[in-house]
Structure 1
Amino acid sequence: MLHRSHWTGACDPDRKARGRRQASRGKLYNRRVDITAIVTALRERLERVLSPPRGHYRPLLVGGDAVGWLDGERASRLAAFADVFHVEQRRVGFVAGLIDCAARTQALYHVARALADEGLLTAWRNERYAVAPAPGAPALFELERAAARYFGIQTFAAHVNGLVRCDDATRMWLARRSAAKAIDPGLLDNLVGGGIAAGSGIQATLVKEAWEEAGIPDAVATQAKPAGVLHICRAQPDGLQRETIFVHDLWLDADFVPVCQDGEVVEHRLLTMVQAASVATNSVGCDVVTADASLVIVDCLIRHGVIAMDLRDYAALSKLRHPTLELTPP
């Protein structure tokens, strides 16, 4: 089903002449909107939902590399898998027999299955994340995506701001996640976003998700421009989210309307930048934006000058884009 935004008409060519007439009478279309209150509300919400983890976390070690972080309850649960883990008061490691990526991956598959059977993970994805000591380094193991937060591994994602140039203002497409999604069901999201699975990369993920979530052809998706990197580190009910987001901007034609191809998106909306900022302040109701997407929106607003440096909440919002992903052992 094609879901059209209430705002699509703002980019309709038939309205351009009317827009020019209105602009000439009062310069209504390009005036700077005072968004001070919106920016303050954004800062208050994001400081709350993106607050750093509290309490003690034990590092999951492979050799001397900390590749995950577990709270006390989860670390204690792993102690029952004595053929896989060696759990100490200050750290968790693998037993000596698991000496390579393949062995650790196989052992973790059975652990993740057991945890899933106990209801301790989100919905099984049948997709793995590669876990390495540094980006581009050989994987130390691969882990089922549903278990990523349980083990507190660093994950990577590619997100795309779908932007449109209109006469009155730059606009941004948002998407509503399906109610069947394992994470953040029914919430609003960036036009395109997805985790980077083992064996894939940033560009391949972007192109794949752009088609599946919005019907954007490959030739258009590859025009998305890298716009920076964001980080998230926060405690969630299913564990620890430690994520690096590779942000992109993609300028779309005014007459383009997204169409989901895989059922994971149920609605698309085209909003002005200020409207997107306002929606991202919501904490309750039917129009709540995911924390990840809200951070991507804020980053976009900062980069495009909508959130100006002279606003009092600018520094605090900007700082939220790059928290540390490393924790302090107990």
Structure 2
Amino acid sequence: MTFPCIAAARHFEYSAHVPLVIGAQRFGWIRRRDVEHLRRWPDVFEISSLAVRIHPRHDSCEARTAALEPVIAALHAEGVIVGWRNERYAIRQRLYDAPLAWIERAAARFFGTRTFAVHVNGFVPARVTGEAPQLWIARRSVLKSTDPGCLDNAVGGGIGDGYGVGDTLVKECWEEAGIPAPLAREATPGRTLHVLAEIPEGVQAEQIFVYDLALPASFVPANQDGEASAHWLCSAGNVRDVIARGAMTVDASLVSLDFLMREGVVREHECAGMAALFHPPEE
């Protein structure tokens, strides 16, 4: 059995992209064909065949944010940046670094900046089922801007402005599955995944914090924010088959595989390449 999500998570051709540079450090990846969209703003970007550099005259977070805002608005109006969220994401390398700039969430994929997310494997433990654990999976709303209608984890969401890992976990557990905060806080960490992949919107460079949450057998997820249209409780074997068919989003497939590997449902030799995703890509 093969799992296409593993290859998809590192489907990235370096030669087809140029780094987005601030100061002397890379903070993103831009597709070469998208660089042409940026040439009309020479006061914002210094562009060469090797890199797109935010002009050094913008030498603070506030200045970079102000310089990028009209660029992002114009590209959105032209349909180059899609899926507007009215949510700010920081440009930074690590989650708790000081931001170099703030940008609209939808623009993070265009610029290939690092994003951060929390996903939760909601499961009924083997001690309750009497056999292998069962996993709750969700179907994304057909109105979602990314992966509409695809299968997903019980809970998953990006870490936005003003939130940390724990805050996001509690918030998303309630919004996506109706899991109350005291129960959500019982989630335990799995492993951390690192995705670097070209996607239709640009580049996904994302660090995913995986959590497991044992749920009572009587609990049924109830979406609160309209982002999921249904939930199902599935056997571990069924979830493995769904992942193999590619019916689940890449992110959710990887998160579920991490759980299934740790539970012994999927063996490591079946997941060639998965181990590399637990480490940042070599760049």
TM-score range, shorter chain: over 0.9
The answer to whether structure 1 residue 313 and structure 2 residue 273 are counterparts is no
How many angstroms apart in 2 are the aligned matches of 1:246 and 1:133? Answer: 15
How many angstroms apart in 2 are the aligned matches of 1:97 and 1:47? Answer: 41
Pick one of 192, 195, 201 that aligns with 1:229: 192
Pick one of 140, 146, 159 that aligns with 1:177: 140
The answer to whether structure 1 residue 162 and structure 2 residue 119 are counterparts is no
Secondary structure of 1:107's counterpart equals: helix
Corresponding position of 1:239: 202
Secondary structure of 2:58's counterpart equals: coil
After TM superposition, the structure 1 = structure 2 runs for residues 186-205 of structure 1, keeping only pairs within 5 Å, are 186-205=149-168
Corresponding position of 2:2: 41
Secondary structure of 2:42's counterpart equals: coil
- Which stretches in structure 2 are left out of the alignment for 5+ residues? none
How many angstroms apart in 2 are the aligned matches of 1:103 and 1:182? Answer: 29
- Which stretches in structure 1 are left out of the alignment for 5+ residues? 1-39
Report the CA distance shift for 1:137/1:324 in structure 2 as closer, same or farther (over 3 A).
Answer: closer
Report the CA distance shift for 1:133/1:321 in structure 2 as closer, same or farther (over 3 A).
Answer: closer
Q: Is the contact between residue 6 and residue 274 of structure 2 (CA under 8 Å) also seen in structure 1?
A: no
Corresponding position of 2:12: 53
Give the deviation of 1:46 after TM superposition: 2.3
The answer to whether structure 1 residue 298 and structure 2 residue 261 are counterparts is no
The answer to whether structure 1 residue 124 and structure 2 residue 84 are counterparts is yes
Pick which of 153-162 and 53-62 moved more.
Answer: 53-62
Q: Is the contact between residue 191 and residue 214 of structure 1 (CA under 8 Å) also seen in structure 2?
A: yes
TM-score after normalising by structure 1:
0.81
Q: Is the contact between residue 136 and residue 234 of structure 2 (CA under 8 Å) also seen in structure 1?
A: yes
Secondary structure of 2:175's counterpart equals: helix
CA RMSD of aligned residues (A): 1.5
Give the deviation of 1:323 after TM superposition: 5.9
Pick one of 49, 52, 55 that aligns with 1:95: 55
The C-alpha deviation readout for 1:225-244, integer Å capped at 9, x for no partner, is 11120011111111011110
Pick one of 251, 256, 278 that aligns with 1:322: 278
Give the deviation of 1:320 after TM superposition: 5.0
How many angstroms apart in 2 are the aligned matches of 1:153 and 1:65? Answer: 12
Give the deviation of 1:214 after TM superposition: 0.3
Number of aligned residues: 279
Q: Is the contact between residue 164 and residue 172 of structure 1 (CA under 8 Å) also seen in structure 2?
A: yes
How many angstroms apart in 2 are the aligned matches of 1:277 and 1:320? Answer: 20
Corresponding position of 1:10: none
TM-score after normalising by structure 2:
0.94
How many angstroms apart in 2 are the aligned matches of 1:323 and 1:115? Answer: 33
Give the deviation of 1:142 after TM superposition: 1.1
Secondary structure of 1:41's counterpart equals: coil
Q: What letter matches 2:253 in structure 1?
A: S
How many angstroms apart in 2 are the aligned matches of 1:282 and 1:307? Answer: 15
Q: Is the contact between residue 169 and residue 272 of structure 1 (CA under 8 Å) also seen in structure 2?
A: yes
How many angstroms apart in 1 are the aligned matches of 2:56 and 2:25? Answer: 15
- Percent identity, aligned pairs only, is 42
Q: What letter matches 2:144 in structure 1?
A: K
Give the deviation of 1:317 after TM superposition: 4.5
Give the deviation of 1:306 after TM superposition: 1.1
Corresponding position of 1:273: 236
